[in-house]
Amino acid sequence: MAARIDFWFDFASTYSYLSAMRIGDAARDAGVTVTWRPFLLGPIFAAQGWTTSPFNLFPAKGRYMWEDMARLCAARGLPLVQPPGFPQNGLRAARVALAALEHDAGPAFCRAVFAAQFGEGADIAQDATIAACLARAALPESLLAAADDPARKAALRAQTEAAQALGLFGAPSFTLGTAIYWGDDRLDMALAAARADKD
């Protein structure tokens, strides 16, 4: 059996942006297969009594996060624009991602959404932005219909419930069976564990 991990991400998550832009190359170098799993942090935060991102609830934490993101993005050569209305509503993009990930170019679409939001400051709740991301990934614009498809809505709810059942509390998270690795800084550890588990 090939070494594999699950990559759980929310499009509104800044640190998920960092992981999304490097996980493909990192996993390939490690010989690990990645399953991309979009989910929503909103219901998980709500279960903790939070009405928004902890980066908004705790201003000092939020200020640090943007400073940290600026340092990390500069080090990795990634553009960074603080989008308006953080955290953005990634619901429609996540539904479309479930459809896009049925294609080989699914990860490219996900990267395009992150790049549009955090690299360009675009509003990923808008269908025009999502359509442009589909085009960047060379995927058909017809996939945009997944945003309103009852089956995709149910699938995203189920994916979010699966994340809750695993005990996920933030994004990005990487899982290997029931083992959870949380945060972009744990990606390499998760990949190493997947390789060790296979060996």
The enclosing domain of 121 has a CATH number of 3.40.30.10
Catalytic residues: 13
Asked whether residue 9 carries a pLDDT value surpassing 70, the answer given is: yes
What residues make up the domain containing 73?
A: 4-198
Report the alpha-carbon distance of residue 65 to residue 14 in Å, rounded.
9
Beta-bridge partner residues of 33: 4
| pTM exceeds 0.85 for this model | yes
Distance CA 61, CA 53 (A): 10
Counting every residue written for the chain, the total comes to: 199
- The first and second tokens of residue 35, run together, are 């399953």
How confident is the model at residue 57, as a pLDDT? Answer: 80
If one counts the domains in the chain, the total is: 1
Is residue 95 within 8 A of residue 146, CB to CB? The reply is yes
Query: What is the share, in percent, of the chain residues with pLDDT greater than 90?
Result: 86
Tens of pLDDT, residue by residue over 175-192, are 999 999 999 999 999 999
pLDDT computed for residue 1 by the predictor? 58
CA distance 184 to 20: 9
Residue 182 β-bridge partners: 173
pLDDT digits (tens, 9 = 90+) for 16-37: 999 999 999 999 999 999 999 9
Average pLDDT, integer, range 87-112 = 97
